[in-house]
């Protein structure tokens, strides 16, 4: 009797196993790979990137202090450099819209552009800005600082004199930087607890870390990178071009640098930077039909990156003078979207967890 | 004792098929004769957004044939204003979120910002060069009018001899209607995104609507082809065997291919049945069957583009040989648009029958200047455009 129960259980286990490997989920080998990937993401990407960003934001706060004490050209330049450094390190963090960051609308508070300058001015006049009110999401974070450090007047001289004459402007810089830190600290802290559940969440379900983070990565590529930095300002979703929608509009000369940094973040995340990430995982589980996919994605990234490199440092000027080059770049980036969203997700058997509004 | 493991086996197989062990048995429906589906006695079919866009296209087509049109007016009709449709004489078409331009060359699979931009450029070229020279005689390098020898037909062409409304509209057949159907709405990118499979499996309906998201997306694909069919209740009206929708986009040529004496009579019923069977499969949660029907639709509708690209290339040669230069320009303009459309075809494996790069090499070299066309580029045995297109379709097109 015992023997018979054993044999029937054995049949059952065998069948569960064979049907699981079809759906590419529950076998322990796949679990281990996913866990290794998640561990790499947490320990070598997410947590250190947040640490770097925090340091840069603290440097930014220190530079703002120095500028407050002595409002001269040199200190303005230092403040701006700290701003640019922090903005560059932000490019590595924006894609991690998961956990507390997602719950607190972190990325919306940090980088919605174009910023609403009129709202910033109004907040300065009124004081007591409620930064948690979503109406103020476009009046804080990096784009608001971009306005305050480059856009409130037409020359550096006038900007400095504005800060000399109206202390409310100075304190608003502070408030915004402080808010950015207050937004960031709890997330950094939360990751100490969140790390273990994050790396252990390997099932193929809509809420598992693997599925959510992979979707976040693709969403960032499609929306944060492709649409926001290229498509929207180049007019892909409107009739004419909208160059005033480039990232860092008031300091347009860094728009390309920010985009390239963002692309570095995308490539590193995909490649794993020495550890296991999507590239290795695709190679491991891909069928014959997609045997070249992991390198196809890399090749497409390189094609797109070469096109970005050919653009003017200043995307605003590039769009005004020769928008076709931006549209061509957008198309090359879009080819990457297809590989990631259609082919990669198909190989990984992960459903997309977001839909595009189609207006119908 | 042997029965027990067998019972387990069959139980396990069932759960394999179904992903979700707790799924209740679903009552399956038979495919209906017509594209009509109901839930609790209420129709679940809706594609009014597609009809709106198709009607917008009709007005835009007329505007691209009027010397009074301006660049800003045409752009408004094509791209709307701040995400809202505008510029149409029929006010029902204004103030909606339905904008043709936002759905032009826009699918995830085959969309392209540079191709979309070509349509913007056609508008600019038309408004700045063609419309102001409406009554001038066209010549190489000179936009204006050109009339057929019998005086029966007059066309307006740009400096390189292209009739822009034809480039625009025959291009839109692929970039807009076909692309939205075969590369978007009946594609898993759209049907399966977000929680749509789970929702469809468990009967979760769209907000306040009688249909699931997946059902609706499939209907929207249907609407881009059949959205301008007339009153379906008329006795003897057979949308399947004799599609008769009005309009200037995909349906116009789908009807011609299907007609008696057309290139492939019967295509109408094949496509209609596949739409019905695919929609039935969604109701029955049979996604493999749905995909098989999508493949049929992709392949069959893609053929319409191939047929008419070749048809108008042939027609161009005929008109040139007959000395009818005006009609030759007209036919080549239609061919140009259909060739542009080829990049939006789908061979059932999510690949176009002709790639964007190959399409553009035709358009930008052989067809860059209609006043200087080398006929061999079109008709040369094996290496001409006609033979290349036939080969791209694996010689499945029934056309000479």
Beta strands in chain B (DSSP E): 38-39, 42-43, 144-147, 154-157
ipTM of predicted assembly, 2 dp: 0.81
pLDDT band at A240; cut points 50, 70, 90: confident
The Cα–Cα gap between A280 and A157 comes to 53
Shortest distance between the Cα of A142 and any Cα of chain B, in A, equals: 25
Query: What number of CA atoms fall less than 13 Å from residue A309's CA on the CB side?
Result: 7
Q: Tell which wins on pLDDT, B22 or A148.
A: A148
Q: What are phi and psi of B84, to 5 degrees?
A: -130, 140
Size of the A and B interface in Cβ pairs below 8 Å:
95
CA pair distance A273, A296, nearest whole angstrom: 18
Q: Please, which pLDDT band fits residue A359 given cuts at 50, 70 and 90?
A: low
- Pairwise pLDDT comparison (A16 vs B314), residue with the higher score: B314
Contacts of B357 in chain A (CB under 8 A): none
Of B16, B79, B197, Cβ closest to residue A238:
B79
Tell me how close the Cα of A141 comes to any Cα of chain B, in angstroms. Answer: 25
Give pLDDT tens digits for A160-178.
999 999 999 999 999 999 9
Placement of tokens 């799924």 in the chain: B23
Q: Which of B5, B113, B220 sits opposite A330 (nearest CB)?
A: B113
Per-residue pLDDT of chain B (400 residues; tens, 9 = 90+): 344 443 333 333 334 444 444 555 567 899 999 999 999 999 999 999 999 999 999 999 999 999 999 999 999 999 999 899 999 999 999 999 999 999 999 999 999 999 999 999 999 999 999 999 999 999 999 999 999 999 999 999 999 999 999 999 999 999 999 999 999 999 999 999 888 999 999 999 999 999 999 999 999 999 999 999 987 767 677 899 999 999 999 999 999 999 999 999 999 999 999 999 999 999 999 999 999 999 999 999 999 999 999 999 999 999 999 999 999 999 999 999 999 999 999 999 999 999 999 999 999 999 999 999 999 999 999 999 999 999 999 999 999 8
Strand partners, B42: B39
Give the one of A327, A342, A360 whose C-beta lies nearest to B49's C-beta. A360
| Other residues' Cβ atoms within 10 Å of the Cβ of residue B134 | 14
Q: Are the Cβ atoms of B113 and A352 closer than 8 angstroms? A: no
Contact with chain B for residue A221, Cβ under 8 A: no
Here the tokens at position B143 are 């936009």
Cα atoms found within 13 Å of the Cα of residue B7, Cβ hemisphere only? 5
> Could you tell me the two tokens for A53?
């960003």
- Does B24 contact chain A (CB < 8 Å)? no
Residues in chain A with CB shorter than 8 Å from the CB of B113 are 231, 234, 236, 327-328, 330-331, 334
User: A349: which chain B residues are within 8 Å (Cβ-Cβ)?
Assistant: none
User: What average pLDDT does this structure show over A331-349?
Assistant: 93
Q: A197: which residues sit within 8 A by CB, 6+ positions away? A: A209
Show residues of chain B in contact with A323, CB under 8 Å: 117
* Nearest CA-CA distance, residue A283 and chain B, Å: 21
């Amino acid at each position: 009797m015992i023997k018979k129960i054993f044999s029937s259980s054995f049949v059952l286990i065998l069948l569960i196993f064979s049907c699981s490997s079809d759906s590419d989920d529950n076998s322990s080998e796949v679990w281990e790979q996913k866990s290794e990937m998640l561990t790499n993401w947490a320990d070598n990407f997410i947590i250190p990137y947040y640490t770097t960003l925090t340091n840069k934001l603290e440097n930014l706060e220190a530079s703002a202090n120095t500028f407050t004490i002595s409002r001269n050209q040199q200190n303005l330049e230092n403040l701006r450099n700290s701003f640019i450094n922090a903005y560059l390190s932000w490019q590595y963090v924006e894609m991690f819209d998961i956990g507390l960051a997602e719950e607190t609308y972190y990325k919306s508070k940090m980088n919605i552009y174009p910023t609403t300058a009129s709202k910033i001015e109004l907040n300065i006049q009124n004081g007591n800005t409620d930064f948690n009110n979503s109406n103020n999401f476009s009046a804080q974070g990096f784009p608001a600082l971009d306005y305050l450090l480059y856009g409130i007047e037409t020359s550096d001289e006038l900007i400095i004199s504005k800060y000399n004459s109206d202390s409310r402007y100075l304190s608003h810089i502070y408030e915004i930087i402080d808010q950015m830190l207050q937004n960031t600290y709890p997330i950094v802290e939360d990751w100490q607890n969140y790390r273990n559940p994050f790396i252990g969440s390997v099932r193929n379900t809509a809420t598992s870390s693997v599925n959510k983070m992979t979707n976040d990565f693709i969403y960032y590529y499609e929306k944060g990178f492709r649409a926001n930095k290229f498509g929207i300002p180049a007019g892909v979703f409107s009739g004419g071009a909208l160059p005033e929608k480039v990232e860092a509009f008031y300091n347009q000369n860094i728009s390309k640098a920010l985009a390239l940094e963002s692309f570095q973040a995308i490539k590193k995340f995909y490649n794993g930077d020495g550890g296991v990430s999507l590239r290795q995982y695709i190679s491991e589980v891909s069928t014959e039909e997609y045997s070249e996919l992991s390198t196809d994605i890399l090749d497409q990234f390189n094609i797109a990156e070469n096109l970005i490199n050919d653009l003017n440092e200043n995307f605003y000027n590039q769009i005004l003078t020769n928008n076709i080059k931006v549209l061509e770049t957008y198309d090359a980036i879009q080819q990457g979207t297809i590989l990631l969203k259609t082919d990669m997700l198909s190989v990984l058997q992960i459903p997309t967890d977001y839909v595009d509004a189609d207006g119908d | 004792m042997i029965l027990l493991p067998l019972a387990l086996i069959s139980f396990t197989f069932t759960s394999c098929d179904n992903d979700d062990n707790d799924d209740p048995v679903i009552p399956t429906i038979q495919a209906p004769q017509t594209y009509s589906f109901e839930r609790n006695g209420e129709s679940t079919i809706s594609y009014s957004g597609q009809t709106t866009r198709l009607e917008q296209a009709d007005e835009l087509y007329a505007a691209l044939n009027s010397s009074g049109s301006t660049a800003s007016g045409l752009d408004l009709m094509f791209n709307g204003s701040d995400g809202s449709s505008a510029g149409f004489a029929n006010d029902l078409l204004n103030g909606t979120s339905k904008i043709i331009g936002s759905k032009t060359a826009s699918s995830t699979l085959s969309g392209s910002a540079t191709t979309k931009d070509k349509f913007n450029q056609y508008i600019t070229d038309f408004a700045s060069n063609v419309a102001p020279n409406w009554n001038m005689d066209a010549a190489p390098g000179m936009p204006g009018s050109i009339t057929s020898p019998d005086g029966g037909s007059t066309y307006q062409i740009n400096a390189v001899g292209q009739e822009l409304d034809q480039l625009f509209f025959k291009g839109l057949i692929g970039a807009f209607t076909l692309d939205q159907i075969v590369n978007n709405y009946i594609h898993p990118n759209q049907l399966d995104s977000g929680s749509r499979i789970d929702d469809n499996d468990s009967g979760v309906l769209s907000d306040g609507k009688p249909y699931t998201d997946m059902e609706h997306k499939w209907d929207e694909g249907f609407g881009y082809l059949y959205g301008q069919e007339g009153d379906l209740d008329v006795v003897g009206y057979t949308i399947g065997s004799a599609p008769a929708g009005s309009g200037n986009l995909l349906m116009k040529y789908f009807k011609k291919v299907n007609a008696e004496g057309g290139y492939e009579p019967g295509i109408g019923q094949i496509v209609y049945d596949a739409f019905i069977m695919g929609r039935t499969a969604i109701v029955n949660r049979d996604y493999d069957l749905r995909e098989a029907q999508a493949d049929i639709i992709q392949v069959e509708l893609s053929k319409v583009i191939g047929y008419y690209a070749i048809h108008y290339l042939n027609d161009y040669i005929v008109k040139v040989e007959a000395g009818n230069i005006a009609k030759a320009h007209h036919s080549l303009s239609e061919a140009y648009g259909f060739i542009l459309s080829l990049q939006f075809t789908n061979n059932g494996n999510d690949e176009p029958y002709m790639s964007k790069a190959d399409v553009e090499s035709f358009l930008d070299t052989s067809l860059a200047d209609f006043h200087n066309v080398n006929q061999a580029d079109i008709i040369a045995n094996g290496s001409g455009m006609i033979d290349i297109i036939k080969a791209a379709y694996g010689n499945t097109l029934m056309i000479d």
